[in-house]
Amino acid sequence: MFHKQIIITGAGLVGSLLAIYLRRKGYSVSIYERRGDMRKEAVEAGRSINLALSDRGIKALREVGIADAVLEIAIPMHGRHLHQPDGTHAFQPYGKEGQYINSVSRRELNCTLMDLAEREGVVLNFGHACTGVDWKTNTISFAAQGSAETRQFDLLFGADGAYSATRLAHMLQHQKFEYQQHYIDCGYKELSIPAGPGGSFLLEKNALHIWPRGNYMLIALPNLDGTFTGTLFFPFEGETSFEKLTTKEAVTDFFARTFPDVVPLVPDLEDQFFRNPTASLVTVKCFPWVREDKFSLIGDAAHAIVPFFGQGMNAGFEDCSVLAGLVEQHGEDWGTILQQFQELRKPDADAIADLAVNNFTEMRSRTADPKFLLQKKIEAWLHEQHPDQWIPAYSQVTFSPQIRYSEALRNMLRQEAIMQEVMQEPGIESNWQKEEVAARIISMKSQAT
Amino acid sequence: MFHKQIIITGAGLVGSLLAIYLRRKGYSVSIYERRGDMRKEAVEAGRSINLALSDRGIKALREVGIADAVLEIAIPMHGRHLHQPDGTHAFQPYGKEGQYINSVSRRELNCTLMDLAEREGVVLNFGHACTGVDWKTNTISFAAQGSAETRQFDLLFGADGAYSATRLAHMLQHQKFEYQQHYIDCGYKELSIPAGPGGSFLLEKNALHIWPRGNYMLIALPNLDGTFTGTLFFPFEGETSFEKLTTKEAVTDFFARTFPDVVPLVPDLEDQFFRNPTASLVTVKCFPWVREDKFSLIGDAAHAIVPFFGQGMNAGFEDCSVLAGLVEQHGEDWGTILQQFQELRKPDADAIADLAVNNFTEMRSRTADPKFLLQKKIEAWLHEQHPDQWIPAYSQVTFSPQIRYSEALRNMLRQEAIMQEVMQEPGIESNWQKEEVAARIISMKSQAT
List chain B residues with CB under 8 Å of A177: 181, 183
Residue A68 CA from chain centroid, whole number:
20
| Confidence at B1, pLDDT banded by 50, 70, 90 | very low
Side by side, which strands form the sheet with B123-125?
A: B123-125, B28-32, B5-9, B155-158, B295-297, B290-291
**Which residue in A168, A178, A183 is closest to B183 by CB distance?**
A178
For the cut 90, the answer to whether the pLDDT of residue A449 exceeds it is no
Question: How far apart are the CA of B176 and the nearest CA of chain A, in angstroms?
Answer: 6
Angstrom distance (rounded) from CA A83 to CA A218: 10
Is A182 in contact with B181 (Cβ distance < 8 A)? Answer: no
- Determine what percent of chain B is predicted with pLDDT higher than 70: 98
List Cβ neighbours of A425 (8 Å cut-off, separation of 6 or more): none
SS3 of residue B200 by DSSP: coil
User: Residue B10: left if φ>0, alpha if ψ -120 to 50, beta else—which one?
Assistant: left
Q: Taking CA atoms, what residue in B is nearest to A176?
A: B183
Residue A378 sits at φ, ψ, to 5 deg, of -60, -45
Residues of B with CB under 8 A from a CB of A: 168, 172, 175-183, 236, 280, 282
Cis peptide before A288 (omega within 30 of 0): yes
Q: What is the pLDDT of residue B43?
A: 66
List Cβ neighbours of A68 (8 Å cut-off, separation of 6 or more): none
Q: Taking CA atoms, what residue in B is nearest to A181?
A: B179
Angstrom distance (rounded) from CA B165 to CA B167: 5
Q: Which runs of consecutive H residues, i.e. helices, occur in A310-427? A: 312-330, 334-364, 370-385, 393-399, 405-424
Pairing of β A79-83 and β A89-93: antiparallel
**Which residue in B175, B181, B183 is closest to A280 by CB distance?**
B175
State the DSSP H helix or E strand holding residue A18, giving kind and residue range, or none if neither. Answer: helix A13-24
Is B280 in contact with A176 (Cβ distance < 8 A)? Answer: yes
Question: Angle of helix A55-63 relative to helix A13-24, nearest 10 degrees?
Answer: 40
CB atoms within 10 A of CB A268: 11
| Confidence at A422, pLDDT banded by 50, 70, 90 | very high
User: Residue B361: left if φ>0, alpha if ψ -120 to 50, beta else—which one?
Assistant: alpha
Task: Give the end-to-end CA distance of chain B in Å, rounded to a whole number.
Answer: 47
Beta-carbon contacts below 8 Å between A and B: 32
Helices (H) and strands (E) in chain B, counts: 15, 19
Q: Taking residues A179-200, what's their average pLDDT?
A: 96
Digit-coded pLDDT (tens) for A204-263: 999 999 999 999 999 999 999 999 999 999 999 999 999 999 999 999 999 999 999 999
Q: Taking CA atoms, what residue in A is nearest to B236?
A: A176
Residue A55 CA from chain centroid, whole number:
12
Evaluate whether A334 touches A155 at the Cβ level (below 8 Å): yes
Question: How far apart are the CA of A440 and the nearest CA of chain B, in angstroms?
Answer: 37
Question: How far apart are the CA of A164 and the nearest CA of chain B, in angstroms?
Answer: 11
State the DSSP H helix or E strand holding residue A222, giving kind and residue range, or none if neither. Answer: strand A217-222
DSSP string, B1-66: ----EEEEE--SHHHHHHHHHHHHTT-EEEEE-SS--TTTSPPPPS----EEE-HHHHHHHHHTT-
SS3 of residue A159 by DSSP: coil
List chain A residues with CB under 8 Å of B176: 183, 236, 280, 282
Angstrom distance (rounded) from CA B5 to CA B155: 6
Q: Taking residues B232-237, what's their average pLDDT?
A: 96
Residue B127 sits at φ, ψ, to 5 deg, of 65, 25
Residue type, B54: S
Question: How far apart are the CA of B179 and the nearest CA of chain A, in angstroms?
Answer: 5
Cα–Cα distance list, B14 to B60, B281, B298, B300 (Å): 11, 19, 8, 8
Q: Taking residues A19-34, what's their average pLDDT?
A: 96
Evaluate whether A236 touches A120 at the Cβ level (below 8 Å): no
Q: Which residue has the higher pLDDT, B155 or A47?
A: B155
For the cut 70, the answer to whether the pLDDT of residue B392 exceeds it is yes
Strand partners, A151: A140
List Cβ neighbours of B70 (8 Å cut-off, separation of 6 or more): B53, B58, B61, B104, B109, B112
Is B180 in contact with A182 (Cβ distance < 8 A)? Answer: yes
Angstrom distance (rounded) from CA B219 to CA B235: 15
**Which residue in B172, B181, B280 is closest to A179 by CB distance?**
B181
Evaluate whether B116 touches B63 at the Cβ level (below 8 Å): no
**Which residue in B168, B172, B176 is closest to A183 by CB distance?**
B176
Evaluate whether A303 touches A284 at the Cβ level (below 8 Å): yes
Q: What is the pLDDT of residue A1?
A: 46
Digit-coded pLDDT (tens) for A91-134: 999 999 999 999 999 999 999 999 999 999 999 999 999 999 99
Digit-coded pLDDT (tens) for B357-370: 999 988 999 998 99
Pairing of β A178-193 and β B178-193: antiparallel
Is A177 in contact with B181 (Cβ distance < 8 A)? Answer: yes
Q: Taking residues A34-57, what's their average pLDDT?
A: 85
Is A178 in contact with B182 (Cβ distance < 8 A)? Answer: yes
Is B180 in contact with A177 (Cβ distance < 8 A)? Answer: no
Q: Taking residues A267-276, what's their average pLDDT?
A: 96
For the cut 80, the answer to whether the pLDDT of residue B3 exceeds it is no
Helices (H) and strands (E) in chain A, counts: 15, 19
DSSP string, B307-346: GGGS-HHHHHHHHHHHHHHHHHHHTT-HHHHHHHHHHHHH
Closest CA to A175 of B41, B356, B242, B213: B242
Q: What is the pLDDT of residue B448?
A: 72
Question: How far apart are the CA of B447 and the nearest CA of chain A, in angstroms?
Answer: 31
Q: What is the pLDDT of residue B447?
A: 84
Q: Taking residues B130-137, what's their average pLDDT?
A: 97
Q: Taking CA atoms, what residue in B is nearest to A164?
A: B172
Q: Taking CA atoms, what residue in B is nearest to A163?
A: B172
State the DSSP H helix or E strand holding residue A79, giving kind and residue range, or none if neither. Answer: strand A79-83
Mutation site for B-interface testing, chosen from A180, A236, A241 by largest number of B Cβ within 10 Å: A180
Ordered by where they begin, the domains of chain A are: 5-41+106-181+281-360 (3.50.50.60), 369-448 (no CATH)
- Which range (A138-142, A304-308, A329-333, B443-447) has the least confidence? B443-447
Task: Give the end-to-end CA distance of chain A in Å, rounded to a whole number.
Answer: 47
Evaluate whether B135 touches B292 at the Cβ level (below 8 Å): no
- Which range (A352-356, A445-449, B120-124, B246-250) has the least confidence? A445-449
Residues of A with CB under 8 A from a CB of B: 168, 172, 175-183, 236, 280, 282
Closest CA to B155 of B13, B28, B32: B28
Angstrom distance (rounded) from CA B226 to CA B205: 8
Residue A318 sits at φ, ψ, to 5 deg, of -65, -35
Question: How far apart are the CA of B161 and the nearest CA of chain A, in angstroms?
Answer: 15
Is A181 in contact with B183 (Cβ distance < 8 A)? Answer: no
Pairing of β A147-152 and β A139-144: antiparallel
List Cβ neighbours of B323 (8 Å cut-off, separation of 6 or more): B18, B21, B296, B298, B337, B341
Q: Taking residues A347-370, what's their average pLDDT?
A: 94
Q: What is the CA radius of gyration of chain B?
A: 23
For the cut 90, the answer to whether the pLDDT of residue B42 exceeds it is no
Query: A342: buried, middle or exposed (CB in 10 Å: 19+, 13-18, 0-12)?
Result: middle
**Which residue in B168, B175, B183 is closest to A176 by CB distance?**
B183
CB atoms within 10 A of CB B38: 18
Closest CA to B284 of B177, B179, B172, B188: B179
Digit-coded pLDDT (tens) for B334-352: 999 999 999 999 999 999 9
The question of ipTM being above 0.90 is answered as no
Q: What is the pLDDT of residue B41?
A: 83
Question: How far apart are the CA of B249 and the nearest CA of chain A, in angstroms?
Answer: 27
**Mean pLDDT for chain A?**
95
**Which residue in A172, A179, A282 is closest to B180 by CB distance?**
A179
Digit-coded pLDDT (tens) for B72-96: 999 999 999 999 999 999 999 999 9
Q: Taking CA atoms, what residue in A is nearest to B279?
A: A175
State the DSSP H helix or E strand holding residue B103, giving kind and residue range, or none if neither. Answer: strand B101-104
Q: Taking CA atoms, what residue in B is nearest to A281?
A: B176
Angstrom distance (rounded) from CA B143 to CA B168: 16
Q: What is the pLDDT of residue A223?
A: 95
DSSP string, B133-159: EETTTTEEEEEETTEEEEEE-SEEEE-
SS3 of residue A204 by DSSP: coil
For the cut 70, the answer to whether the pLDDT of residue B449 exceeds it is no
List chain A residues with CB under 8 Å of B282: 176
